[in-house]
Amino acid sequence: MKKLSLAVAICCACVTSYANAEVRINGFASIVGGKTLDNDSTLYEYDNDISFKNESVFALQLSADLQDKLSATAQIVARGENDFNAEFEWAYLTYEFTDELQLSAGKMRVPFYRYSDFIDVGYAYRWVRPPQSVYNIPFSTYEGLSLLHTSQLGDWDSTLQIIYGSFDGNIGVVTYNDKAELNDIAGINWTLSYDWFSARAAYLVAETSIGLSDQEPTGQALNGLEKTLRDNGLVTQANDIAISEDDGTFIGVGFSIDYNDILFDAEYTQLEVENSILAKQSQYYASVGYRMDEIIVHFTYENNDDKHDAADFDKITQIPALNGAINQALLGTKAQSTVYTIGTRYDFHPSAALKVDFSRFKNDITDTETDVIAVAVDLVF
């Protein structure tokens, strides 16, 4: 109810100020179809039956200049994976202190990545989807404050953002429907750009609590293991399983090049929730593209490595059965994979692009491969 009230308040600000404000309505859409090329395998929620719902999206954005340096923005998004039920993705007010400094309050995007602000706008990048080995944090918005400062440092353009807020909702972390509560989200990200080169760094922290769903076997097993540890007086070990008010840290760095017709993007991220069952995640991608008038061809390599430190294992030598259960749980969160993607983008219209991507996902733990092909039409209006 709190989230709905916030969104409605922003929209009311847009509507009630219509007579005195300039209201702009923009939109974007992606129609995406894809399928795996292997039987009995899934990737990016696709199987070997073609689907046009998983990654398709339609959205409208309302922006209102409320005068006297105040503006309101709301974005309504309908996703195919949610049966195209429309939801408020953004809803915030912005006050401009100066041309260089502005403060926003409401529901906004968490600036994890280079493409965070327009991650849903497929027209803004060359892939069908951003590299999922990196762009895999299962939530993208928060409610709070954002202070943005833009300036010139010599010949360099500087954009510095500081955020503070919280997140409360269901996400897919260990199971597909875990209850997450992140408090005191605080972070900073800084982007520097000069001509054809830009670089970015981000650092965020949060007090992280995640309740695992009992509706799935993995959640049941881990919740049962935590209870068994507590029943045996092993409180410290139980706390190391639970995700309750633990310190979460995100680090991201990246750079991009757009020189003549050569394109290059790379990002590295690291995510850790201390003293929890969640493995420390390290991932990166590197992507090169070449522009030929309205056509871009590209190749992307991704790498993901999620694992616990060796010190996390063999903590309960006095109870071998429980020690084995913990080791099995820790190993269950381990993930190592690589992804290769080749694709092309054709800007057949000033406001629309056709894309085709072929991706091969290799699970380095199970030594299995899954191929998926996707075709998308992205447009803005």
> What does the pLDDT read at residue 218?
84
Question: 41 versus 263: which is more confidently predicted?
Answer: 263
Confidence of residue 2 (pLDDT cuts 50, 70, 90): very low
- DSSP code of 111? -
Q: Under a CB-based contact definition with an 8 Å cutoff, are residues 346 and 332 in contact?
A: no
Q: CATH no. for residue 118?
A: 2.40.160.10
The answer to whether residue 338 scores a pLDDT higher than 50 is yes
Confidence of residue 322 (pLDDT cuts 50, 70, 90): confident
User: What is the domain range of residue 181?
Assistant: 2-380
Residue 210 in tokens:
């995640």
The answer to whether residue 245 scores a pLDDT higher than 90 is yes
Confidence of residue 113 (pLDDT cuts 50, 70, 90): very high
> What does the pLDDT read at residue 17?
45
Give the mean model confidence (pLDDT) for residues 348-367. 96
Q: Distance of CA 315 to CAs 112, 243, 330, Å? A: 34, 18, 12
Helices (H) and strands (E) in the chain, counts: 4, 16
Confidence of residue 4 (pLDDT cuts 50, 70, 90): very low
Give per-residue burial for 246-256: e unless 16+ CB within 10 Å, then b: bebbbebbbbb
Residues 6+ apart with CB under 8 A from 154: none
The answer to whether residue 1 scores a pLDDT higher than 80 is no
Strand residue runs (E) in 125-242: 141-153, 156-171, 178-194, 197-211
- β partners of residue 257: 197, 264
The answer to whether residue 364 scores a pLDDT higher than 50 is yes
For the ranges 75-89, 147-161, 298-312, the lowest mean pLDDT is seen at 298-312
The answer to whether residue 224 scores a pLDDT higher than 90 is no
Average pLDDT of the residues of the chain: 91
pLDDT tens digits for range 273-304: 999 889 899 999 999 999 999 999 999 999 99
pTM of the model: 0.90
Q: Under a CB-based contact definition with an 8 Å cutoff, are residues 183 and 217 in contact?
A: no
Q: Distance of CA 208 to CAs 54, 144, 235, 240, 275, Å? A: 28, 16, 19, 13, 11
The answer to whether residue 11 scores a pLDDT higher than 60 is no
> What does the pLDDT read at residue 313?
64
> What does the pLDDT read at residue 3?
45
- DSSP code of 122? G
Per the structure, how many domains does the chain have? Answer: 1
> What does the pLDDT read at residue 320?
74
The dihedral over CA atoms of 10, 12, 15, 17, expressed in degrees to the nearest 10, equals -80
In the chain, what percentage of residues exceed pLDDT 70?
A: 92
Strands 280-292 vs 262-273: parallel, antiparallel or unpaired: antiparallel
> What does the pLDDT read at residue 21?
67
The answer to whether residue 50 scores a pLDDT higher than 90 is yes
Interatomic CA distance for residues 109 and 116, integer angstroms: 7
